[in-house]
Structure 1
Amino acid sequence: MVSATIGAVPRWESPPLIGRAAELARLMAHVDQAVEGRPSAVLVAGDAGVGKTRLLDELSRRATARGVRVLTGHCVDLGDVGLPYLPFVDLLRPVVADPELTPVLARHPVLVGPLTGRPGAAVPDSAAADLGRSLPGSALRPPDDDGRLQLFESVAALLGDLAAGQPLLVVLEDLHWADRSSRDLLRYLLARLVDRQVDEPVTVVATYRADDLHRRHPLRPLLAELVRLPGVERLQLDPLPDAEVAELVRRLDADAGGASVEDVVARAEGNAFYAEELVAAGRAGEVLPGGLSDVLLARVEQVGLAAQQVLRVAAVAGRQVRHELVAAVSSKSPEETEQALAEAVHHHLLVVSDDGRYRFRHALLREAVLADLLPGERVRLHAAVAAHLAAWPEAGTAAERAHHLRESNDLPGALSASLEAADAARRVGAPAEQLQHLEAVLALWAAVPDAADRAGRPSWAVLLDTAAAARAVGDLHRAVALLRSAQELLGADGDPQARARVHYTAAQVLGRIEEAAEAHRESSAAMRLVPAQPPSVVRTWAAATHARTSYSLGLVAEADAAAEEALAAADALGLDSAWADTAVSLARGSGTGDRAAVRVRFAEARARAQRSGDADVEMRVWFSQAVTAHDAGEVAEALELATAGLARARALGVEWSFYGAELRHLEVLCRYVLGDWDGSLAAADALARVPDMAAHVRADGLLVLVGRGDPRAGEVLDWARGPAARWDNHVLLMLATVAAEIELAGQAGDAATAGERARWADGRLRELWGDERLASVRLVATALGAYADAATTARRAGDGEAEARWVAEAAELAEIGRSAAEVQYPTGIEARAWETRLSAELARVRGEAAVELWRQAVEEFGYGHVYEEARSRFRLAEAMLAVDDRPGAAAESAAAHDVAGQLGAVPLRTAIEALARRGRLELPGVRTVATTVFTPRETEVLSLVAQGRTNRQIGAELFISEKTASVHVSNILAKLGASGRTEAVALAAARGLLG
């Protein structure tokens, strides 16, 4: 047994911790903070060998002495194995092994399978079971949701339960090797832990190799997101100074002479592990190759051939390996194997983990041994490991077997194991790894003659499954490419039912990425392939999909015909999910204004969808109910439906599905419109915790941040425009981003940028939606507000040429908005309000008061849009002042100011107060006596504002913070009674205040 073999072997004594006192103190401060009930996290970065593991060992020791429970998980480099959630399984293994913690684990049954390796019930698909039954041997229609919420929540809840009994330190090592599912779970845990400020005594410390993070490394965007969370700190471990490396060498080897110490210091270049290996190899005074691999292999060559052999076996098997596997693969007697392992442990090449497994003392050592293997030896060892895992399935996973079989060139076996691994990943809710394994199956398919027999389905069906996995992880463009491959494979003479299924599935995916015309072509192709009679499942879903794509293009007659056919066939076949899906398309696409009839149809659709067990269709019904209410101006009802739908989604475990995300999007918007800005921000942040899902919902928070003048808006904009969000692939994300850009440009007095962004967005909407692009009306109206400010400033400064230019450009821009408003169906009250706003802003550009237009805008936004009603009141007050209606202006200003204060809308409140000062209006609780007496610092800031500097540039030039610069700018605007920076400069110049 392992314990008997290793019992007399001395353990590796940890090297002394040198030169990390400050870093250790910072980490212990986080542990102390957790003990007091304030959770936090630290991301420790450093190059390979710089001392991350040693620092964490010392931290764990001290935390344990403080009475903190320490759980440690390791990420492992297994190439393309794709073991989902490996570090979390690793760190929670002691929970499974501890009988005292069994009751805690029992409260979270979702985790029993992943942690014990004995999966229970499979994660249920949200597919239509009747479709799967209709195509023997085929996969069920894939769910949109990846089913991870229950798993994520269960891990978080388990850690919370453990922390409730004893403060907890969670250590995750080598995040640069983390699988995608583990990265997603880490994002969720940290955001949940620190963003909500939960009262849990937990500290999370995670390490990663900074030198491994190339530009496209998948960890980079995650780190950029995590460091913005409150309570998450990044700690960089720099190379040790030469003096500390010298001290380390002397502590490791008391007999080291001065020349030897200097040689190690020169070669180590601040890397503690390098220095340690140089000393241990006893080669410090000799000429060595520059690579660390040579230093490590010098250590390996000091042990006997048998020990070297077990090291090679262990390196191929993984960073941690069981005694039984080494014994089975090493081809030596039990006694020889035990002696070889003991020698490797004695020489500190292997260490024995608490669970009895061997592991390399450092990942670099394993890498060096692997790199030194001859190709034939590598293949032979992988084959031996694969054979052992096949004989003892409990010793490893299908993913590990697939890896070793591929590396041993057993391609048929690798294909079968990859299929098994894909299914295992699906059952534990890891679609990214499922996709990875299915991609491996597709890569091996042509090389395995009996691939279809092994898979139990033809290659087109595997492509369909792979597309479903890509869809589940949000890679919709990859899903389309896979479906295109399936179409090419089936060809023009392939089975019509199969071809139709691929076509309508492609139509569904294309509709999600705003390719409406192409989606319609795909659904049309599906309709041509399968006859309407006799009714069939495939034809019914093809018709249901075709109705949806036809309505999206405004082809109402064609859509109605397809919908009627789908409803009749669904009734005949008992396909409740297809009926419900079609009923939703009909209710949303027919343009009926009978809200009572629509509500009845939705109620029946929801009941049928729930009866069918199709969670995706049921969520589509919930979303459609809510968005229809929103579009009708019934915002309170829309919010009620959205929150109820989300509650149902949580109950079904699909809160993070496509329509779950859209319901959250509606919740964010409705709370924003109704004036619950804090609730809107909270809802937006909640969804941001799940990776690669609904980036537009996080961007929706820009509405509040920009409205409040919060500087965090810039950070969210940078993220939304970055590669992580892929913003141009999602029209709602694009709209949220561009709307924020236009608002910010207006606040900065940059009318040209505001207009350019509105034109660009309208062009993009034309590409995606054609003429049906009402969203352009809002964007253009907002941009015209910036044009009106610019024209007003030019008019006050007596710059007739600039005024004429702004008036002409505004007229051209307004035509874009008016053409977007010319739709073929009745517009809702919000759209009408924005049309009125557009006309009112255009009148303001021309210098017209337009009191009645602004009064109409106030009335129309009064349907429930608290902020836009207040903004319209502000402009109405300005117009009333222009016609000398001072009492009316005072009343409207006061009402708008009150709302701005309640919302925390600082830019609007500042503008209203500036208007009151210019017009000598009384605002309750606000001093409105104008003054232009600037402090010396304000004079400096005003001069830089006149030069076009941003707040950040002003701060840098005057050596003050950006926030302080912003305060000075606000004070200047208030003293001048200006509504924006451009107007302030014009007023200051007119009054001779710019020197």
Structure 2
Amino acid sequence: MLDDMLGRSVSPVFVGRAPELATLTEAFEEARKGDATAVLLGGEAGVGKTRLVQRFADQSRQVGARVLFGGCVELSTEGLAYAPFTAALRQLVREQGTAQIAALLPEGAGRDLARLLPEFGEPSGDGETETGRARLFEQFLTLLERLADSRPTILIIEDIHWADRSSRDLIAFLSRNLRAPQVLIVMTYRSDDLHRQHPLRPVLAELGRVNGVLRLDLPRLSRDEVAQQMAGILGSTPDYAKVEKVYERSEGIPLFVEAMLDGGEDCSFPESMTDLILGSVERLPEETQRVLRIAAAGGIRVGHSLLAAVSSLSDLELEAALRPAIAGNVLQIADNRAYVFRHALIREAVHDELLPGEHQRLHARFAEEISLDRKLVPPGRAAVELAHHWYGARNDKAALVAAWEAAQKSFRAFAYTEAIPLLERVLMLWDRVSGAEELIDADHTAVLERASEAARAGGDVDRGVKFIKAALSELDENRDPGRVAKLMVRWASFKISKGKMGVVEDLRDALRLVPAPGQERADVVTPLSQDLMLRGEVAEGTQLIEEGLRLAGELGDRCLEGDLLLNLALGHSIDGDYEATLATNMRALELGKLENSGRLITRAIGNNIDALTDMGRWEEALALADEGWRAAKKYGRLRASGLFILNNKAEVLEAIGRWDEAIEILDVAASYGPVLRTRHHMLRTRADIALARGEFDLVEGILSELGVLKERPEDYLQDITNSTRLHIGWHLLKGEPDSALAVAERYMGRPSQSSKAMLGWRLLALLRTVCDAADAVEPDRARAVREHAVAVAAGLQAKGPVAEAYRLSYSGDFDAAAAAWERINRPHNQAKALMRAASVAARSGDREGAGGRLRTALPLARALRATPLIEEIETLSRRVGAGSPQETTSELLTPRELEVLRLVALGRSNRDIAAELFISVKTVSVHVSNILSKLGVTSRGEAAAAAHRRSLLDA
């Protein structure tokens, strides 16, 4: 029986990997504390990566760890999505059962895992396909974290150089976002396979920049280590000459050492590596070699029943044929009655020896047997296996049908990137197959449309545009106006993702093609009305929304109604009517809850965070941001609405002066790989803090990426206004008021400016600062900008405390502005207003009044580390003779810094402090540096002494 077929151990001695094993062990210990996430183990083919991770796994199990294995196979690149994760999940189900695994996830979330394993029931019905993949990623992340609650968990993924795109994306997602302790992912890859264009290269580069991800390269064995390996295999000490010969010819690759010793006492070494690897195969009986060739055509892993069917052997005959291969360690027994080649190089070498006709016949046999009984392959793999084998068999008709079916399966598993090459294969075979349209019940254009849909959901913009252009070239807008309009809407979404111009023109063309009321028109009205609102064209956008709401009512489509209400709320926000904004967003939120639409719920929450911030209700905004983040996780929308919400939260924190927290939030958001538009929003928030702190290089880098320094054209008024504000701030930071004035002139020369009250007043307040600074060098130009600003201000309303505070700053009532900023907890704005008020008082001869304002402003600026403002305040203090304002040390330290100082005084390490305060080690390091600077000391011990001496921690 199979259980009796145990292969010999090629090398019973574990040789030469003590440092690497120690590194993996150390990484595991760090992971148990939450300081490590993943290890990337690279090495040449045959260098011993598998042996090392197996030894590490055995060692980890002995200390109570749960070890999950998942391997990538060459077939993954042809559409077998999530292969390693499916394998690991299948292992968990075998060990614990489906119900126990599903119980670890939020209610109903197990249905998402059904897209990987049918044991979890029917997949969730999901009309929002673009969010399904993100939700699947979240569920796998949650599963690992919940598993680690009870036991340290290690996930080992081998051969990620063969990983499919979806698996690579999930690997990157998990590596960036695992935060829970006791989880470690170990991944192996062939470093010698990574050519310049290999898709794994950018993933490795990205992960190399992620905290907690370790790169480990496995070197070849030294001469002494080869001697140890030989002694372990031979059972005796080899003579020097034999060691020299083996070492020289194998070059320290353990697999080749084993192959040479398999050749007998003479340690012969063929001319090519392939011949060397095949040596152990060619010494096997002919029937065994024949079955191995069949197995090689099936892949690196083949089930017993499938191999028996394809080889036309009985169970006993197959076992007899394979026994020598297993005894010779060419083949190994895997779980579920399957066989795997001991090393992928062996399988590759055997497969490459197949003659062309033999290659086609074997693939045809595999396809025929799987077609007859799909249970011969693991659940969920039949479609992609058939696509692979029929294509290898050069059966164009069957290959086309199988590729189409596999592509649809990939869609249901959210494996959009794997669907694309399958659909491209359908397109490639189309002209070779007569009646292709009838075979798959779809025309050629429909395949292109489906491919563009996959590209959109998978974020592959460039390929998506290619498919759309091809589809549009096949359609006539007079015969198929609806299909053309739908493609144009999709094309517009691609343009938005790439930050391209001209979206509104495309959407207007699409609307022209669908004049009749109905679903097709509603599908264009919704994105067009949103685009118009973002451009500031509120009247036209509102008119379209009213039409859309009528259509939604006729269609009974509450999700469509919710989307349109959210667009309407954008218009209210631009008009500065925040109460109407909140109320309209709440109506959309209720519809989202009724329809269980994560998209509507999270979008409504994100928009209300923005509205509450503009109303100065920052505490409510922060609480809502946390609620929104939880909702984004629940509905699998972290990388969509979730990151937008995180940026909203960072904006609130930036506004109220909690800048370090804001930076930490932005760093977390960036780790999720946001889409370009969201990333730009995040960069603008980060640039505001960098400007306020005088971080020249960081500001310049951000503005270069945004295209601000080259004044890249933008469509949306909010983006234009914020980019202009940052550009002006950059020139002021560098002491270039004339250049700042030039940017202001170009903005004012636009046909329209932002009508959103908060944005408008904020920019106008900055323009006053620019004009005041430029009066001495360019009085006429400054006067012209002031006059234009007056005209713009006349069209703005000051609704809400934030807009009113900016209006007061613009009008020059700086004391009132400072009081307004204090009421809504905006310390940086308050300090700036006090500084401006002090300047006015100083010019009028009121030195005492100026000094009083400066003494209030300085601790605010210092607490924020707003270096440029601190320097302005100190300079003016010296000029008016107010001296350096005296405040106690405790006033210099923020509440968070006092908490950190208290723990420093207790002798805690940065890691201990981070754990106790629920912040990152990096943030603790920043706080400690600030404390040392403010106390004027150079060490933690001196800081602790100063704290006790000055009674800073008595409270």
Match of 1:664 among 646, 653, 656: 646
1:304-343 to 2 correspondence within 5 Å? 304-332=285-313, 334-343=315-324
Could you tell me which residue of structure 2 aligns to residue 921 of structure 1?
884
2:77 match: secondary structure: coil
- Residue ranges of structure 2 left out of the alignment (5+ in a row): 780-808, 892-924, 938-955
Q: Distance in 1 between matches of 2:67 and 2:239?
A: 40
1:209-608 to 2 correspondence within 5 Å? 209-253=190-234, 254=236, 256-282=238-264, 286=268, 288-289=270-271, 291-332=272-313, 334-396=315-377, 397=381, 398-517=383-502, 519-532=503-516, 535-556=517-538, 558-589=540-571, 591-608=574-591
Q: Distance in 2 between matches of 1:173 and 1:258?
A: 35
Deviation at 1:342, TM superposition (A): 0.8
Do residues 783 (structure 1) and 713 (structure 2) align?
Answer: no
Q: Judge conservation of contact 2:497–2:676 (CA < 8 Å) in 1.
A: no
Deviation at 1:635, TM superposition (A): 4.9
Deviation at 1:911, TM superposition (A): 7.8
Deviations 1:654-705 (A, max 9, x none): 4236334323322222232233445534543544454x444666x6xxxxxx
Q: Distance in 1 between matches of 2:541 and 2:97?
A: 62
Q: Judge conservation of contact 1:890–1:923 (CA < 8 Å) in 2.
A: no
Tell me the amino acid that sits aligned with residue 428 of structure 1: A
User: After the TM superposition, which of the residue ranges 878-887 and 507-516 deviates more from structure 2?
Assistant: 878-887
Deviation at 1:967, TM superposition (A): 8.7
Deviation at 1:878, TM superposition (A): 7.9
Deviation at 1:770, TM superposition (A): 8.2
- Residue ranges of structure 1 left out of the alignment (5+ in a row): 128-142, 700-730, 789-805, 929-962, 976-995
Tell me the amino acid that sits aligned with residue 100 of structure 2: P
Do residues 747 (structure 1) and 695 (structure 2) align?
Answer: yes
1:950-965 to 2 correspondence within 5 Å? none
Q: 1:106 to 1:552 in 2, by over 3 A?
A: closer
Q: Distance in 1 between matches of 2:933 and 2:32?
A: 43
Q: Judge conservation of contact 1:18–1:244 (CA < 8 Å) in 2.
A: yes
Q: Distance in 1 between matches of 2:152 and 2:713?
A: 56
Could you tell me which residue of structure 2 aligns to residue 829 of structure 1?
758
Q: 1:509 to 1:910 in 2, by over 3 A?
A: same
Q: Distance in 1 between matches of 2:12 and 2:868?
A: 58
Could you tell me which residue of structure 2 aligns to residue 815 of structure 1?
745
Do residues 173 (structure 1) and 154 (structure 2) align?
Answer: no
Q: Distance in 1 between matches of 2:706 and 2:820?
A: 25
Q: Distance in 1 between matches of 2:69 and 2:701?
A: 51
Deviation at 1:785, TM superposition (A): 2.5
1:773 match: secondary structure: helix
Deviations 1:506-545 (A, max 9, x none): 344434444452x32332233332333xx32212323333
Q: 1:174 to 1:224 in 2, by over 3 A?
A: same
Q: Judge conservation of contact 2:46–2:255 (CA < 8 Å) in 1.
A: yes
Q: Distance in 1 between matches of 2:155 and 2:283?
A: 36
Deviations 1:693-749 (A, max 9, x none): 44666x6xxxxxxxxxxxxxxxxxxxxxxxxxxxxxxx53664677688678x5359
Q: Distance in 1 between matches of 2:20 and 2:461?
A: 43
Give the TM-score taking structure 2 as reference length. Answer: 0.79
User: After the TM superposition, which of the residue ranges 858-867 and 20-29 deviates more from structure 2?
Assistant: 858-867
Q: Distance in 1 between matches of 2:310 and 2:770?
A: 79
Could you tell me which residue of structure 1 aligns to residue 791 of structure 2?
none
Deviation at 1:971, TM superposition (A): 8.3
Tell me the amino acid that sits aligned with residue 695 of structure 2: Q
Q: 1:287 to 1:898 in 2, by over 3 A?
A: same
Q: 1:637 to 1:656 in 2, by over 3 A?
A: same
Could you tell me which residue of structure 2 aligns to residue 872 of structure 1?
832
Could you tell me which residue of structure 1 aligns to residue 130 of structure 2?
144
Q: Distance in 2 between matches of 1:309 and 1:429?
A: 39
Could you tell me which residue of structure 2 aligns to residue 92 of structure 1?
89
User: After the TM superposition, which of the residue ranges 350-359 and 831-840 deviates more from structure 2?
Assistant: 831-840
Could you tell me which residue of structure 2 aligns to residue 680 of structure 1?
662
Deviations 1:751-788 (A, max 9, x none): 9x699959951654425458982123321232133232
Deviation at 1:628, TM superposition (A): 4.5
Matched length: 858
Q: Distance in 2 between matches of 1:555 and 1:813?
A: 24
Q: Judge conservation of contact 2:708–2:727 (CA < 8 Å) in 1.
A: no
Q: Judge conservation of contact 1:40–1:232 (CA < 8 Å) in 2.
A: yes
Q: Judge conservation of contact 2:408–2:419 (CA < 8 Å) in 1.
A: yes
Tell me the amino acid that sits aligned with residue 329 of structure 1: V
Q: Distance in 2 between matches of 1:544 and 1:778?
A: 30
Q: 1:596 to 1:211 in 2, by over 3 A?
A: same
Q: Judge conservation of contact 2:38–2:213 (CA < 8 Å) in 1.
A: yes
Q: Judge conservation of contact 2:835–2:873 (CA < 8 Å) in 1.
A: no
Q: 1:687 to 1:885 in 2, by over 3 A?
A: same
Q: 1:902 to 1:152 in 2, by over 3 A?
A: farther
Q: 1:817 to 1:927 in 2, by over 3 A?
A: farther
Q: Distance in 2 between matches of 1:386 and 1:43?
A: 36
Tell me the amino acid that sits aligned with residue 27 of structure 1: L
Could you tell me which residue of structure 1 aligns to residue 42 of structure 2?
45
Tell me the amino acid that sits aligned with residue 69 of structure 1: R
Give the TM-score taking structure 1 as reference length. Answer: 0.76
Q: 1:740 to 1:449 in 2, by over 3 A?
A: farther
Q: 1:781 to 1:451 in 2, by over 3 A?
A: same
Tell me the amino acid that sits aligned with residue 130 of structure 2: D
Q: 1:876 to 1:520 in 2, by over 3 A?
A: closer
Tell me the amino acid that sits aligned with residue 124 of structure 1: G
Tell me the amino acid that sits aligned with residue 732 of structure 1: H
Q: Distance in 2 between matches of 1:865 and 1:781?
A: 25
Q: Judge conservation of contact 1:183–1:222 (CA < 8 Å) in 2.
A: yes
Match of 1:7 among 4, 9, 19: 4
Sequence identity, in percent?
30
Tell me the amino acid that sits aligned with residue 81 of structure 1: E
Q: Judge conservation of contact 2:839–2:876 (CA < 8 Å) in 1.
A: no
Tell me the amino acid that sits aligned with residue 86 of structure 1: A
Match of 1:732 among 669, 681, 696: 681
Could you tell me which residue of structure 2 aligns to residue 946 of structure 1?
none
Q: Judge conservation of contact 1:867–1:899 (CA < 8 Å) in 2.
A: yes
Q: Distance in 2 between matches of 1:145 and 1:453?
A: 32
1:769-918 to 2 correspondence within 5 Å? 769=716, 773-788=720-735, 806=736, 808-816=738-746, 818-819=748-749, 823-841=752-770, 843-844=772-773, 858=818, 864=824, 866=826, 868-869=828-829, 872=832, 875-876=835-836, 879=839, 883=843, 887-888=848-849, 890-900=851-861, 902-903=863-864
1:71 match: secondary structure: strand
Tell me the amino acid that sits aligned with residue 829 of structure 2: E
Deviation at 1:265, TM superposition (A): 1.2
Tell me the amino acid that sits aligned with residue 418 of structure 2: E
User: After the TM superposition, which of the residue ranges 892-901 and 172-181 deviates more from structure 2?
Assistant: 892-901
Q: Judge conservation of contact 2:261–2:267 (CA < 8 Å) in 1.
A: no
Could you tell me which residue of structure 2 aligns to residue 937 of structure 1?
none
Tell me the amino acid that sits aligned with residue 27 of structure 2: H
Deviation at 1:563, TM superposition (A): 2.9
